[in-house]
Amino acid sequence: MSPMNAQENAQAPRRIVVGISGASGAMIGVRLLEALRRIGTHETHLVVSASGAVTAAQELGIGRNDLDGLADVVHNVRDVGASIASGSFVTSGMVIAPCSMKTLAAVANGLSDNLLARAADVMLKERRRLVLVARETPLNLAHLRNMTYATEMGAIVMPPVPAFYAHPKTIEDVVAHTVGRILDLFGIEHREIEKRWSGLADEFGARGNGGANE
């Protein structure tokens, strides 16, 4: 990178692209957008698939306007000419939360037939951070292979799996932990994770192993 380009990038606004696709877990995308707004360091660019809007309505009872109101800039999933469809539009990266197996397949195979997949394709070609909060269970071989392909290209596949060691009491607790781990991957400081793991000794005191050897 030339010194001029480095300077331009340093001055560019910090932006992050958030995609919401039609997997279960729309709450993760919503809480992520809310956290990013609270933190305030990044301009958020939102793209929601048609199925993403359906799952948000089904799971959270919210409409497109509610979703759109959480972001700084909203892009139509059919607008493949949007700013985020080009690598020359500088961003810190992209999160797809939740990421359906269909969108995972599109990203893993370079099938950029909508803006969600195209923006993710841009992240991979520009070697920018791409986090796929891939949600399905159980997984078939296509899902597993697509996760491998995406990982080989540099994406981070991050299924929204609960951290049971954190003793979550509510779904909100589980989602906050996931959102916190997503923000960690971008180096964004946050307060989503109330108590971070600091070792078994902290959990059990002096014994250190909860008495497992007793």
Ligand X SMILES: Cc1cc2nc3c(=O)[nH]c(=O)nc-3n(C[C@H](O)[C@H](O)[C@H](O)COP(=O)(O)O)c2cc1C
207 assigned ligand-binding residue: no
Residue closer to ligand X by CB (options 133, 179) is: 133
Asked whether position 55 contacts ligand X by CB under 6 A, the answer is yes
> Is 22 assigned a ligand-binding role in the annotation?
yes
* AA letter at 99: C
Cα 202 from Cα 132, distance rounded (Å): 32
Q: Which of residues 1-30 bind ligand X (CB under 6 A)?
A: 21-24
Site string for ligand X, 78-117 (x = CB under 6 A): ----------------------xxxx--------------
According to the binding rule CB under 6 A, does residue 58 interact with ligand X? yes
Minimum CB–partner distance for residue 27 and ligand X (Å): 12
Which of the residues 130 through 169 are near ligand X (CB under 6 A)?
A: 135-136
Selected from 5, 6, 13, 54, the binder of ligand X by CB under 6 A is 54
> Which amino acid is residue 29, in one-letter code?
G
Nearest to 97 by CA among 189, 42, 197, 16: 16
Q: Is the peptide bond before 98 cis (omega within 30 degrees of 0)?
A: yes
Residue 144 makes CB contacts below 8 A (sequence gap 6+) with none
**Phi, psi dihedral angles at 40 (to 5 degrees):** 80, 10
Cα 212 versus chain centre, distance: 37
Residue with tokens 């692209």: 17
Name the residues that contact ligand X, by CB under 6 A: 21-24, 49, 51-52, 54-55, 58, 100-103, 135-136
Known binding residues: 22-24, 49, 100-103, 135, 165, 181
